[in-house]
Amino acid sequence: GEDVEQSLFLSVREGDSSVINCTYTDSSSTYLYWYKQEPGAGLQLLTYIFSNMDMKQDQRLTVLLNKKDKHLSLRIADTQTGDSAIYFCAESGTNFGNEKLTFGTGTRLTIIP
């Protein structure tokens, strides 16, 4: 079955760049997503990338996809205290009847002042 893995913790100094990594196993993954979850809240969709793309940039966020290695990363430039949260990567396929997201374990990002 599908499996998505992330490291559990990341600490970054305020103003530095944060890079959160994710690996997945399903080669038929069509879309890969990054979600943010703040304490006591649901998940907020940050960005997503289609599997035929290598990179997507959206303001401070850059997503890199290495499809050969099944590796996805999220770079947050100029990390701020408001970026403290848990970040989940997720993958989905378009196989009929398999339209669901498989989430990673989440990476807790801590900002050091």
Residues forming the site for another protein (CB under 8 A): 30-31, 35, 40-45, 48, 88, 92-94, 97-106
CB atoms within 10 A of CB 1: 5
Tokens of 81: 């205290």
3 vs 20: CA distance, rounded Å: 17
Cβ-based nearer residue to another protein, 67 or 103: 103
Considering the complex, what minimum distance in angstroms separates the CB of residue 46 from another protein?
Answer: 11
Which CB atom, from 79 or from 88, has the smaller least distance to another protein? 88
Give least dist CB 108 to another protein, A: 12
- Of 104 and 111, nearer to another protein (C-beta) is 104
DSSP 53-112: -SEEEETTEEEEEETTTTEEEEEESS--GGG-EEEEEEEE---TT----EE---EEEEEE
Closest contact distance (angstroms) between CB of 113 and another protein is: 27
